[in-house]
Structure 1
């Protein structure tokens, strides 16, 4: 390992692992600190009251990626895995996903949302159980570079270093701290506290989250003879819209597994109450939610209870979905990456690109230049994607009168060609690792040029 700056990454989720993979390739000193006492690929706890910003990049993924148990990736991030030599491994754990089907509570088909093909984008949109990707990424990180049971209590700076103090009494120092532990992270809370005391924290960052859904997710292993959908080579995905602000979903992934999700759409008043109802997050509450859905019809036959019964308890997780885009992404030696798997991975790629461009002199001045460039490249795009993702979620699973009207219009009056144009525009953004050979576009859909560092960043690197 080369002498140079030391990077501390807080959070061992997909975003934290992507950062670790990139720093590993750069031969840079880094360490990942995870609050949980074990790394679980289906959430770090059976129930999670944490936020997920759904910034996924293809039409099918607004529903799929928020589930936690299942994930889809496509041309917006697969070039990065190809650069890292991991594309073949991702394909082995995946199935191509041509799109999703949507049904009403009577299982009358409402319509389809189709994904772009490999001919159009150079990559199939593929679907897999999220734990499989997590395990693949974790294997790329040496075990001695991940510490578990590290709950961050405070973040301070001293003598050109950033120090973190943990609940077990341990203290660590480095040149750069990256918060990859979600919106309610200790890293964010600490820099917000510091900036608040300095009077430089935007007031928007103190506002409450927008909460839309409560979801329960799981991964079942089923008998392939029971469900004909399990016996071909593609990933089937179906979502059913209930008549009482509920929805439920099933998705086929490799190894005779079905990833499923249950959703309850909250009104603004219900969302406020959820902030204070911890009783809704215990084992008994989980069983109550399962019972509410167990008699619902599965779009592939039978009822949802059949799938629940084939799901190990440790592969069931309850998720409180909240959305917000923060104004503040960095301060001094600390920087944050977003939530949501694809969004977090893209953040990680752009951030490490910018750090690479300033060289290995991690002064506050140099880091600020890199952070500002990272923010410039990602903020507006992330904000647009959160907005678009929220809109797509309302169309695909919203239960209000206006949302039903919009959905009916989409499926009955909007040509498929219009959907394809929207998908092509989204698929055109695919940031890559700038310090590795770039992957050429193999599809017919145009791709946005790779972002290059601004002149100020180039001058900073040359000065170093």
Structure 2
């Protein structure tokens, strides 16, 4: 077992791409298999903060991220008539990093440009998977199949890798009951990003910072989100709470909603936004092909790995976007998986790989489960329209002490895993950081290098200059 493990990553989403970049730095062989023939720039605004940015510094792409993003210090909340309700502090005051907002397609493109194009294979819809003591295999709809030592399912909420793995485990009587139950689907979301806007008509784009605002309907079952991002653009979204009947229909569908984009947006087009325009104005400035309509599911799966196979991101912990932690947690998964693969060294044995992937789950499970719960609570606060949620919302947003806002942000920012096979970035900010499991292999390699540097050159005096 002298060769390094070969890794197959299914899904060219943010978590899968970042894992590929980490393996590239580690000089481990990998390939990424994406089901679609090309990646369209779907998605709206998102953000990254202190709980992942140190790792971007490690990879040397932090400055690149700053070029496509704008800092944001607060979240603005409004009633339907544009009456301000509250401002939630999301600044990097004591955490060391500003929260950076950008359009999701921009960071996708950033990561794609950092990876060798030959490592990403498009049009590879996975139909089945398998594994043995000697390796893992995927079989695709185009008749091709691929083998490797490790298989990572980074292919989203309806992961083909997860479905294939769970089917086998259920047949063998090894799948927990909860993992076979459907995800909870409480909301649907329409999102898009405009083309560059004229500053005269849309003054919000003149700012050198990002404005992030949520408009919560007074009576309807929806909320409107608007975010200004670089390039004189605005990301927008409509989050709609589903009725029980609509939730039943959602469970019978896949990721994308059945109704057309036009029909979905029409009821909300006339609504005002804090940016001095209506939602319809922003929709009209957005290419129709770049608007997506997706259900918002949530669930923490118990089974993350088995043998040579592991799941990453939405495939094992699907969370609502309300706390802005879904993509970040997928990236944190990628960091820890990469660390565990690094510890394998040259071993490709079934026993060592299984132990490494189990270590990944043990390091990540509790934190990810907590973030699913926090995202659910944030969803109730900002998106839910039940009478109880409305009561909790206004009590919390109007009377909640500002110290509570700060405590919630700093708790999330305290967990910031880094790649243990790269020099760690020094702590920024004044807050305490959650300790990270160190790399025994890296420490040993550093000790060996130091010993070699301290050893005298053969045939010379140890005191020779």
1:192 aligned partner: 166
2:62 to 87, 93, 97: 87
Whether 1:370 aligns to 2:356 is: yes
2:400 to 402, 414, 425: 414
Whether 1:228 aligns to 2:203 is: yes
Give 1:259 deviation, angstroms.
0.2
1:161 to 127, 132, 135: 135
Once residues 206 and 354 of structure 2 are traced to their aligned partners in structure 1, the CA distance between those partners, rounded to angstroms, is 53
Cα shift readout 1:23-76 (whole Å, capped 9, x = no counterpart)? 10011110000000102242xxxxxxxxxxxxxxxxxxxxxxxxx311100100
Whether 1:212 aligns to 2:186 is: yes
Return 5+ residue gaps in structure 2 as ranges: 315-325, 445-465
1:306 aligned partner: 281
2:303 to 303, 307, 328: 328
1:353 aligned partner: 339
1:256 aligned partner: 232
TM-score, normalising length from structure 1? 0.89
Once residues 181 and 321 of structure 1 are traced to their aligned partners in structure 2, the CA distance between those partners, rounded to angstroms, is 16
8 Å Cα contact 2:150/2:308 also seen in 1: yes
2:53 to 75, 78, 82: 78
CA pair 136-417 structure 1, distance change in 2 beyond 3 A: same
2:155 aligned partner: 181
2:294 to 303, 319, 324: 319
Once residues 8 and 256 of structure 2 are traced to their aligned partners in structure 1, the CA distance between those partners, rounded to angstroms, is 34
SS of 1:452's equivalent in the other structure is: coil
Return 5+ residue gaps in structure 1 as ranges: 43-67, 459-464
Once residues 256 and 267 of structure 2 are traced to their aligned partners in structure 1, the CA distance between those partners, rounded to angstroms, is 14
2:313 aligned partner: 338
Once residues 374 and 440 of structure 2 are traced to their aligned partners in structure 1, the CA distance between those partners, rounded to angstroms, is 28
8 Å Cα contact 1:79/1:432 also seen in 2: yes
SS of 1:121's equivalent in the other structure is: coil
Once residues 378 and 292 of structure 1 are traced to their aligned partners in structure 2, the CA distance between those partners, rounded to angstroms, is 41
SS of 2:234's equivalent in the other structure is: strand
Once residues 398 and 440 of structure 2 are traced to their aligned partners in structure 1, the CA distance between those partners, rounded to angstroms, is 45
Give 1:369 deviation, angstroms.
1.2
Cα shift readout 1:310-365 (whole Å, capped 9, x = no counterpart)? 10112211111111100000111111112231111000101110111121212111
SS of 2:300's equivalent in the other structure is: coil
What value does the CA root-mean-square deviation take over the aligned residues?
A: 1.9
1:54 aligned partner: none
2:26 aligned partner: 26
CA pair 386-143 structure 1, distance change in 2 beyond 3 A: same
Larger of the two Rg values belongs to structure = 2
8 Å Cα contact 1:116/1:424 also seen in 2: no
Give 1:159 deviation, angstroms.
6.2
2:376 aligned partner: 390
Once residues 14 and 256 of structure 2 are traced to their aligned partners in structure 1, the CA distance between those partners, rounded to angstroms, is 27
Once residues 309 and 260 of structure 2 are traced to their aligned partners in structure 1, the CA distance between those partners, rounded to angstroms, is 38
Give 1:277 deviation, angstroms.
6.1
Instruction: State how 1:243-282 maps to structure 2 within 5 Å.
Output: 243-276=219-252, 281=257
Runs of 4+ in structure 1 deviating by more than 4 angstroms, as ranges, are 277-280
8 Å Cα contact 1:431/1:451 also seen in 2: no
CA pair 369-220 structure 1, distance change in 2 beyond 3 A: same
8 Å Cα contact 2:421/2:439 also seen in 1: no
CA pair 279-113 structure 1, distance change in 2 beyond 3 A: closer
1:143 to 97, 113, 117: 117
Once residues 442 and 183 of structure 1 are traced to their aligned partners in structure 2, the CA distance between those partners, rounded to angstroms, is 34
TM-score, normalising length from structure 2? 0.89
Cα shift readout 1:104-156 (whole Å, capped 9, x = no counterpart)? 11111111111132x41111001001111000000111111111110111112
Cα shift readout 1:281-329 (whole Å, capped 9, x = no counterpart)? 45x6211112111111122223211111110112211111111100000
Cα shift readout 1:434-456 (whole Å, capped 9, x = no counterpart)? 1111111120122112223699x
SS of 2:37's equivalent in the other structure is: coil
